[in-house]
Amino acid sequence: MSELPDWMYPPRAEGWFAEDLDRLPQAPRHTELLDGALVFMMSPQRSWHSRAVTALTAVLEELVPDGLLAEREMTIKLDRRNRPEPDLLVAEVDYDPDRTWFDAADVTLVVEVVSPESAHRDRTVKRRKYAEAGIPHYWVVEEEDGLPVVHVFEFEADDSGAAYTLAGIFRERLERSVPFPVDIDLDGLVPARKGQKRAD
């Protein structure tokens, strides 16, 4: 069994803290912190995932009103032991070129585009953590039945403010008034696979 490099050992018995991520230049890109443990995204990124994230980022940058900022692949500090990196977020902050993370209190919307490697975390673990951190809106973006089309599960904070309820499942078009006016052609986000169409 090969020995782990020194940087992979936590600096304290309690594990890793959120601020430690800024002091780990050796860590792979897209390293997250969940419950004090480092999580690495090691599997290759699929074209569908990359295109969906890029297209959604471009669309949301156009849709967000003044005072909100759309950003992709930046971590959110939920608490001392949790700093996940969603695919996309919208926050009520000014642009800061030196920013390395966002505070959960400033985040209005989190978007996770599901991949096979991240599916469990996106659908369960992160959904619970984002809700408990008080982030009011959460979108889970998925393929549908193996087709390269986009559908969105939209979650909103419930009355307790510490859990989500399902606000809707959107196919073809996402049209909502919250967290700001949204009208997105979901079928136009990624190219259709030749010879494959959505089943009606």
Q: Centre a 10 Å sphere on the Cβ of residue 200 and count the other Cβ atoms it contains.
A: 3
Q: Report d(CA 16, CA 34) in Å as an integer.
A: 9
Identify the helix (H) or strand (E) that includes residue 171: strand 164-171
Number of domains in the chain: 1
Structural domain of 123 = 47-188
Q: Report d(CA 82, CA 154) in Å as an integer.
A: 23
Residue 53 inside a domain? The answer is: yes
Residue 38 inside a domain? The answer is: no
Residue 1 inside a domain? The answer is: no
**Model pLDDT for residues 145-197, shown as the tens digit of each residue:** 777 678 999 999 999 989 999 999 999 999 999 999 999 999 999 987 655 55
Residue 133 inside a domain? The answer is: yes
Residue 57 inside a domain? The answer is: yes
- Enter the pTM of the model: 0.92
Mean pLDDT calculated for residue range 47-68: 96
Q: Strands 75-77, 101-103: parallel, antiparallel or unpaired by DSSP? A: parallel
For residue 34, what are its two tokens?
Answer: 């969940």
Split at pLDDT 50, 70, 90, the class of 109 is: very high
CATH label of the domain that carries residue 83: 3.90.1570.10
Mean pLDDT calculated for residue range 104-126: 96
Q: What are phi and psi of 140, to 5 degrees?
A: -110, 120
Determine the pLDDT at residue 144: 82
Q: Shortest CA distance to 141 belongs to which of 68, 43, 55, 31?
A: 55
Answer whether 182's CB lies under 8 Å from 62's CB: no
Mean pLDDT calculated for residue range 134-155: 90
Helical residues (DSSP H) of the chain, grouped into ranges: 47-63, 119-120, 126-132
